[in-house]
Amino acid sequence: MKSFYAVCIYGRGHVIAFNRVRGFHDGIDHATYGMPDNYPNIPPERLPVSIDIYNNDVSVVHDNCFEADASVLNVRIMYNRCFNAPLGAMSPQPVLGEPVYFIRNVVYNAWWGPVKIHAEPSGVYYLNNAFIGEFRQLTPMSNLHLYNNLLLGQGTAERVLSVDTFTNYSSSDYNGFRPNPGAGESFAWNSAPFQETRNFYPERRSSPQGAAVRLVQRSFPTLAAYSQATNQDRHSRLVDYDIFLKAPTPDFSDPTRVVSVDSVDLRLREGTVAIDAGV
């Protein structure tokens, strides 16, 4: 346990930058140790707000490269690199206020995928990230927004994008998707009925009226069918691994395989459909 975290902080106003991390359980985390001190009368200096985590290079972790877990608001995780993180590279598990931003990060060789969404976070923005792996969730979330991301399926889940959200003002657009070849379902957008702005009573809870309310399950084989049915990702495009200078599909046949960060180049090739396709 002495090497459980490389960096672990609590409180407000921290800046964590320009670190190289190798071989920990977690890389750089906001601490999750239970209810804040003197809850509900928390001293303002203990509230986990206004935190920047940027320009860090994390690889070979057991769980997550970066965690915003149990932070409250105005947290930015940006310009970071995450390789070789088997159980979800970047985690908002949960975010207790909002917003939290994941901006211009890159993730590669993460078996579970680039995100670990658990414990019903709210107010999370994913902007301009290059995420190799499927976007999937363990629990629903609220007020989710995905723009200008590259999400490339790597074959560890069927759907390249699978969103569960309590709020119909969650949004996604101007992304680049690489669905997994041969997948029967490549996209899902599960929320309350579209005529409801929000519904925070998932199946495992009871509504005030005593009746269970489920998120409507909507899955689609293609980007076109998904966009037409949900009005999400109407300006998004299909991409493949050849948009990058050097990025083969990750190989998980050997679960202990570690990919050198210098063997992959996630810069975009000139003339590919991903260039100037954002907003």
pLDDT at position 34: 67
Instruction: Give the span between the Cα atoms of 216 and 164, in whole angstroms.
Output: 9
For the stretch 23-82, pLDDT in tens is 999 999 987 766 667 878 888 878 889 999 999 999 999 999 999 988 888 999 999 999
Encoded tokens for 16: 């964590």
The dihedral built from the CA positions of residue 268, 20, 111 and 249, taken in this order, carries a sign that is positive
Residue 95: which pLDDT band, with cuts at 50, 70 and 90? confident
For the stretch 228-266, pLDDT in tens is 999 999 999 999 999 999 999 999 999 789 999 999 999
- pTM value is 0.93
What Rg do the C-alpha atoms of the chain give, in angstroms?
A: 19
